[in-house]
Structure 1
Amino acid sequence: MLAAQALQVLTRDLAACIARMGLGGGNFGVPGLVEKPVREAERIFQGYAKAQPRQEDSYAAARAFLRGQRLDAWQRDLVASAVAQPIREAGDETALGSQRFDTLLGEYQAEAERGDLWRLTWHGLLYSYFQYDISAAGGTAAQTGWEKLRAFLERTWPLIDRQVGAGLVPDWVHVLRKEGAVLSRSPVDKYARGYLRGDSAAVDQLAEDLGIPPSSWFWHALVLGAVKRATADSDAEFQRLVPQLIQLIKTRPGFRDEALEYILVRYHACRAAPQDELLRDFVCAPAVWRNPKLKAAGYATAWNRVPEPVWQMVLGWVNERNLKDFFDILAARNQADEGRLAFWSQYLKQITWTRLVFGADTMALQRRSPEVRNLIAREEGAYARLDGKSEVDAFMMQIGSYLIVEFSKKPNACYAYKVDELPFEPYAKHYDGGTTDLAYGYRGEKAARIVHTPGWQARAAEELRRLGIRPDRPDAQRVVGGGAATGSATAGGSRPDSASPGPDMPALEALMRRFRGATIDDRRGPGGGRLWVEDPLQRVQLGSELKALGFKWANPRQAWYYPES
């Protein structure tokens, strides 16, 4: 009797349990009855497996850490998720950049080796690793701390992997078991080629699985990795990829300057590569590296990242565009081209410096002419104003040791002056445009005067030949010397009697690599010119080594020059 009653009670309790589990209408042994609860349980497990502490708590722990406060065990777990987060109260510094960060990692390391490091704490560090934003958490200390964090994760991942085991594991563990390279020194190499092809499916999935935010360093590194892969391709394939590389840089500009350095150096190495207008316009934009003509004036220092021949390649592109723009847009507006573009194009590869000078009419025209507006915008910081003749524009170009000035409207003649005997300052912001400066040669001394009357091309060619200037040879390469014009108001304009053999150039170039920011300005040529070294920081050590190479100091120009023999 008692046994029967006990059986009834057990049956009733079992039925109640089955009802609470949502299995009341089914039969045991049917898999479908348990699949849904299992999936729900797994979902809950995955949620807990990558849960992050409250942002306010992690932030407070990171703030306390940066203030030098001692963290308790709970705070030490909390701060893991915020070591890459800028802390407002600490001037936007991060725990990554703290001198105490090494000690914190050491404590985590010891716990991991003992098997005591909480899995969610390690996941918090993984979260911080991908959360690091190079544009928001700048500085070498933070970057160094981030590198140490990467090395820590790579070093301790095998310990965490063994600790997790082979049972039910979090999604992020599954991902890292397949994609452990994201913790290596080359975290993006595996994905760069596909990203370059426009195939981002694998990367997008990785970002979703590991919670990589759009601001993460990962995306910028991926672009730089794609650029490096493209520069390793053949000339033809690399040139084909340039538009895509530029688009990638625009979307992820974190390593923009380094990426452009790779692209420009590689483009310069291409055999007989034509001018790339898209690359030119992007790198010369005011918000990127600016006009290469501004390098000498110290306003476009990004050009110091590339070797001199690479800078001069792009400068040549800009000079060519300036020549065409002046005659196609400005002179053509006054029906004054008269074949001048075709004529000067014969000397294009010898033009080492150009400058546009805009009159008041052209400056006003930019309000209604997109063509003129774009031209002026491209020359921002490099152009000058012509105040004396509102309807006239001027164009300066240096060929060899002569500065040539053309005007956009008749009856103005074209004048050639020796660059070391200029009657005006070539970098002035304003000119009158008359005989006091640009047209000084009408009454004063000049090397040549070209009047655009019928048959002027033959007379002009003869005048230039007299100055030692002849049309480009068909196989001529762009002139590598030059830079910018020097005038009477510019230091270093004295005319050399004869050129010396020069210093040890390999030694000089090696010296420049040691003193970043110092530049070589080689103006030597058939018509004279000097070899200059400019150092904006005027470092004493560099000065001592330049003296040892035979250089002397020019106080007016505040630069070093190699004296002529």
Structure 2
Amino acid sequence: MLEVAALRQLTHDLAAAIGAMGLQTGEFGKPELVEMSAREAEKIFQGYAKAKPSKEDAYAAARAFLRGQKLDAWQKDLVASAVAEPIQEMSGVTVLGSRRLLELLGSYEAEAKRGDLWRLTWHGLLYSYFNYVPSLARDESTQAGWEALRAFLERTWPLIDQQVGRELVPDWIGILRKEHEVLTAAPVEKYSRAYLRGETEVTDRLAADLGIPPSSWFWHALVLDTVERATDDTDAEFRGLLPRLLNLIQGKPGFRDEALEAILIRYHACKGSPQDEQLRDYVCQSTVWKNPKLKAAGIATAWNRVPDTVWEMVLGWVNKQNLEDFFGILAARNNADEGRLDFWSKYLTQVTWTRLVFGRDTMILKRENPNIRDLIAREEGAYAQLTGKPEVDAFMMRIGSYLFIEFSKKPNACYVYQSDQLPFEPYLRHYDGGTSDLAAGYNTNCALRIVHREGWASRAEADLRRLGISPDRPDVRRAVSTGAATASTMRGRNADTGVTVFRKEASASDSDVPSLRALLSRFPGALMDDLRKADGGGRLWIKDPDQRVALASRLEERGFKWANSRQAWYYVER
């Protein structure tokens, strides 16, 4: 009986103890409430573990340091979080660029070796390490200061790691234990390799736990290192990595232009450099580099980052797409292709400029027709509109020294004009579409008028040959020239529209021998034969056995003319 009484008393005392702890509402043996409290405590701990001082206080400490003032113990801890912060009152300089930085880091390191360095002070320096923005650096000393900070963190990390121990480890300590490579002289190598394998989880966790901001040098280095590694691969491997590279750039747009420059130059070096629609559509977006045709109008200036041959490659892709879109979507809507797409495709490598001109009906149809909507979006900033014929669209293209105007609906003919004798401006935003501009050749002289009646293709091919234009040779590589509808060496602005236009104006420098030699060096096999004499007789000749379109266009712009008798170009002296 005594045992039973003792058991009852023990049970009563246990229940009272549980009640006193506030656990009577939970089922004994179920740890949900304890786990919830633990999670809350962990959250609070992690917050304190990477807490940063007031930004204003840290900024004030950094400013005092740069002014040569002696910091007290509290300010010395504060300044760690602001060593990469530009101080506006001192023309944007940072503590990283100060001559006293090494002294400051040395004092921190001495404390770390004694075990006296406050962990949050070291975390503040880590924060500054990732918040460094190279583009804001004023001089080489700032970059050198950042390198010194990195080396300090790498040296002292083992001391901090040891000091923390294994209990209640902050997230940023945990991730650094696994990813300490981020403090080495090759901080992004591991992560760029992972990106190329399609693995982004580690980098995402690193950014979250270490608080790496979007503007950090880390992302700049990661993007460029990833791109550099991809461009070092074979053509096939590089092209296979393009979707991942573009996805990376989209996610880190602040470093887009440098990456795109490297990608486009490498792609141009690929054998044949076949069109890549994803690359074309991305780089030609109005929010990225814009349509390459707009470079000639001084709008898409980002294309100046790459050599002309690279720009010409993408311009060729756009021209090809324009040709296919016009006849495959616009003319086909009116059953008016009549074999024109197949015909003009035979001259595709010689097309150096295109422009779409949309009628009112097409602009209305974009609301319900996704193909037309996408087409107009791709041509944003480059297309024009027809005001006189709402049901008709037009297509401009330049081949050699001629500008061609095709219309999307019968019975309109194709008009061919000499590009230096146009009856209209090629960069206007609006055209009537009739005999006052695009179809002026109906009433006045034009170089050629192609009427699309039965048998037109064979007649047109013969007429084009008489103009010196023959179908592409199968082995001719894509070569486009300046992208301007009219030959240009002088830029001006149309008084009515404000749009930049180009006009031909030859000068003595057009026949300058050194510049011509530099031009010809880009076209192996092309030769210069200068037969000019002191008394004014003779001519300067350029011979190109391969008769490359790109070279022909450049020579034409300089004032050269083609001589059928010698199958060569000669400079027209003025």
TM range (shorter): 0.7 to 0.9
**SS of aligned partner of 1:459:** helix
- Summarize the Cα distance change of 1:407–1:121 in structure 2 as closer, same or farther, 3 Å threshold: same
Whether 2:322 is the aligned partner of 1:322: answer yes
**SS of aligned partner of 2:514:** coil
Deviations 1:355-391 (A, max 9, x none): 1111111112222222212111111111111112121
Partner of 1:530: 557
- Match of residue 152, structure 2, among 144, 151, 156: 156
* Identity among equivalent pairs (%): 54
- Match of residue 503, structure 1, among 514, 520, 537: 514
Q: 1:388 touches 1:431 (CA, 8 Å); kept in 2?
A: yes
Please, which moves more after superposition, 70-79 or 111-120? 111-120
Q: What is the CA distance between 1:105 and its match in structure 2? A: 2.1
State the distance in 1 between where 2:480 and 2:512 align. 18
State the distance in 1 between where 2:137 and 2:104 align. 20
Whether 2:337 is the aligned partner of 1:337: answer yes
**SS of aligned partner of 1:192:** helix
Whether 2:351 is the aligned partner of 1:351: answer yes
Q: What is the CA distance between 1:407 and its match in structure 2? A: 0.7
Q: 1:95 touches 1:101 (CA, 8 Å); kept in 2?
A: no
- Match of residue 136, structure 2, among 124, 136, 140: 140
Partner of 1:385: 385
Partner of 2:504: 493
Q: 1:97 touches 1:143 (CA, 8 Å); kept in 2?
A: no
- Summarize the Cα distance change of 1:225–1:68 in structure 2 as closer, same or farther, 3 Å threshold: same
Amino acid paired to 1:54: P
Q: 1:220 touches 1:253 (CA, 8 Å); kept in 2?
A: no
Q: What is the CA distance between 1:503 and its match in structure 2? A: 3.0
- Summarize the Cα distance change of 1:44–1:301 in structure 2 as closer, same or farther, 3 Å threshold: closer
Q: What is the CA distance between 1:188 and its match in structure 2? A: 0.6
State the distance in 2 between where 1:56 and 1:530 align. 59
Q: What is the CA distance between 1:483 and its match in structure 2? A: 2.4
- Structure 1: which 5+ runs fail to align? 1-38, 511-521, 533-562
Q: What is the CA distance between 1:480 and its match in structure 2? A: 3.6
Whether 2:138 is the aligned partner of 1:111: answer no
Q: What is the CA distance between 1:61 and its match in structure 2? A: 2.9
Please, which moves more after superposition, 394-403 or 251-260? 251-260
State the distance in 1 between where 2:231 and 2:149 align. 31
**SS of aligned partner of 2:287:** coil
Please, which moves more after superposition, 451-460 or 358-367? 358-367
Please, which moves more after superposition, 290-299 or 429-438? 429-438
Q: What is the CA distance between 1:416 and its match in structure 2? A: 0.8
Amino acid paired to 1:529: E
Whether 2:92 is the aligned partner of 1:125: answer no
- Summarize the Cα distance change of 1:189–1:94 in structure 2 as closer, same or farther, 3 Å threshold: farther
- Summarize the Cα distance change of 1:103–1:374 in structure 2 as closer, same or farther, 3 Å threshold: same
**SS of aligned partner of 2:354:** strand
Q: 1:416 touches 1:447 (CA, 8 Å); kept in 2?
A: yes
- Summarize the Cα distance change of 1:193–1:430 in structure 2 as closer, same or farther, 3 Å threshold: same
Q: What is the CA distance between 1:468 and its match in structure 2? A: 0.7
State the distance in 1 between where 2:411 and 2:368 align. 27
* Equivalent runs, 1:1-400 vs 2, <5 Å: 50-56=49-55, 58=57, 61=60, 70=69, 72-73=71-72, 74-84=74-84, 97-98=93-94, 101-103=97-99, 105-112=101-108, 114-115=110-111, 118-119=117-118, 120-132=120-132, 139-141=135-137, 147-157=143-153, 160-161=156-157, 164=160, 168-169=164-165, 179-207=179-207, 210-213=210-213, 216-400=216-400
* Equivalent runs, 1:537-552 vs 2, <5 Å: none
- Structure 2: which 5+ runs fail to align? 1-37, 489-493, 495-500, 522-548, 560-570
Please, which moves more after superposition, 488-497 or 374-383? 488-497
**SS of aligned partner of 1:525:** helix
- Summarize the Cα distance change of 1:222–1:325 in structure 2 as closer, same or farther, 3 Å threshold: same
Amino acid paired to 1:301: T
Partner of 1:408: 408
Q: What is the CA distance between 1:250 and its match in structure 2? A: 1.2
State the distance in 1 between where 2:471 and 2:129 align. 59
- Summarize the Cα distance change of 1:97–1:115 in structure 2 as closer, same or farther, 3 Å threshold: same
**SS of aligned partner of 1:322:** helix
Partner of 2:568: none
Deviations 1:410-442 (A, max 9, x none): 111101111111111111111121112111111
Deviations 1:445-484 (A, max 9, x none): 2110000111110111111111011111111111243421
Count of aligned residue pairs for this structure pair: 480
- Summarize the Cα distance change of 1:454–1:499 in structure 2 as closer, same or farther, 3 Å threshold: farther
**SS of aligned partner of 1:364:** helix
Q: What is the CA distance between 1:79 and its match in structure 2? A: 2.8
Deviations 1:219-256 (A, max 9, x none): 44323322211111111111111112111211222211
- Summarize the Cα distance change of 1:150–1:508 in structure 2 as closer, same or farther, 3 Å threshold: farther
Q: 1:500 touches 1:564 (CA, 8 Å); kept in 2?
A: no
- Summarize the Cα distance change of 1:298–1:479 in structure 2 as closer, same or farther, 3 Å threshold: same
- Summarize the Cα distance change of 1:452–1:182 in structure 2 as closer, same or farther, 3 Å threshold: same
Deviations 1:152-193 (A, max 9, x none): 223323653575585655776786577554234542112211
Q: What is the CA distance between 1:335 and its match in structure 2? A: 1.1
Deviations 1:246-285 (A, max 9, x none): 1121122221111111111111111023210011000000
**SS of aligned partner of 1:421:** coil
TM-score scaled to structure 2, two decimals?
A: 0.73
**SS of aligned partner of 1:367:** coil
State the distance in 2 between where 1:321 and 1:210 align. 45
Amino acid paired to 1:285: Q
Q: What is the CA distance between 1:197 and its match in structure 2? A: 1.1
- Summarize the Cα distance change of 1:94–1:527 in structure 2 as closer, same or farther, 3 Å threshold: closer
Amino acid paired to 1:440: A
Amino acid paired to 1:268: H
CA RMSD of aligned residues (A): 4.1
State the distance in 2 between where 1:45 and 1:426 align. 66
**SS of aligned partner of 2:476:** coil
- Summarize the Cα distance change of 1:165–1:435 in structure 2 as closer, same or farther, 3 Å threshold: closer
